Amino acid sequence: MPLTHAYINEQLTAHLSEKLIAWEESYGMASATVQADHNLKTLTFLHDEPSLGFQFMTDITAVHYPDRKGEELAVVYHLHNLVENIRLRIKVFVPVASPNVYTATGLFSGANWMERETFDFYGVNFIGHPDLRRVLNVDEMDYFPLRKEYPLEDQTRIDKDDEMFGR
């Protein structure tokens, strides 16, 4: 029997019950939102359950939603069942004041670098990560550049004024 989004939703609902916050399908990809303290349990279930078989992690990233009070950061996992060629997105929301989620490095070895990168740019603290430190930015950086807390451009620059272009 081929793996379907309906079956995945049924399995997650049965396994997580009230911990599954939302389920949606858009553009051919299913997406589940779960409580942040159940991220590792959810990933482990999807990985270990033979009928699901999501044993490849494609990506981990974060998204900053400054207007969502108490859940400003979304940690997004993209999983792939290579046998059935089905992709699944898992999202957890955490407050920017304490952006803590459990590490997935014990489940997916490729998560190591992706979690470090997500920490580096968004400040998500992956609890239990073996070496959580900046990977692309300098260690002295005291902010997280992909959060939407700063203007897109330096407002003091004069080379972009209209007078420079004869207007």
The CATH code of the domain that includes 106 is 3.30.460.80
Q: Count the domains in the chain.
A: 1
Greater confidence, 149 or 34? 34
Residue 151 located in a structural domain: no
Residue 114 located in a structural domain: yes
- 16: pLDDT strictly greater than 80: yes
Residue 117 located in a structural domain: yes
Phi-psi region of 73 (alpha: psi -120 to 50; beta: other; left: phi over 0): beta
Residue 113 located in a structural domain: yes
What confidence category does residue 162 fall into, taking pLDDT thresholds of 50, 70 and 90?
Answer: low
Residue 124 located in a structural domain: yes
For every residue of the chain, which 3-state class applies, written as one string? CCCCHHHHHHHHHHHHHHHEEEEEEECCEEEEEECHHHHHHHHHHHHHCCCCCCCEEEEEEEEECCCCCCCCEEEEEEEEECCCCEEEEEEEEECCCCCEEECCCCCCCCHHHHHHHHHHHHCCEEECCCCCCCCCCCCCCCCCCCCCCCCCCCCCCCCCCHHHHCC
Tens digits of residue pLDDT in 68-105: 999 999 999 999 999 999 999 999 999 999 999 999 99
Cβ distance 126 to 132 under 8 Å? yes
Cβ distance 25 to 31 under 8 Å? yes
Distance CA 105, CA 112 (A): 5
What confidence score (pLDDT) does residue 135 get? 92
Residue 96 located in a structural domain: yes
pLDDT, averaged across the chain: 92
Residue 148 located in a structural domain: no
Residue 158 located in a structural domain: no
Cα 87 to chain centroid, rounded: 15
The predicted model scores a pTM of 0.88
What confidence category does residue 165 fall into, taking pLDDT thresholds of 50, 70 and 90?
Answer: low
- Domain assignment of residue 118, given as a range: 5-142
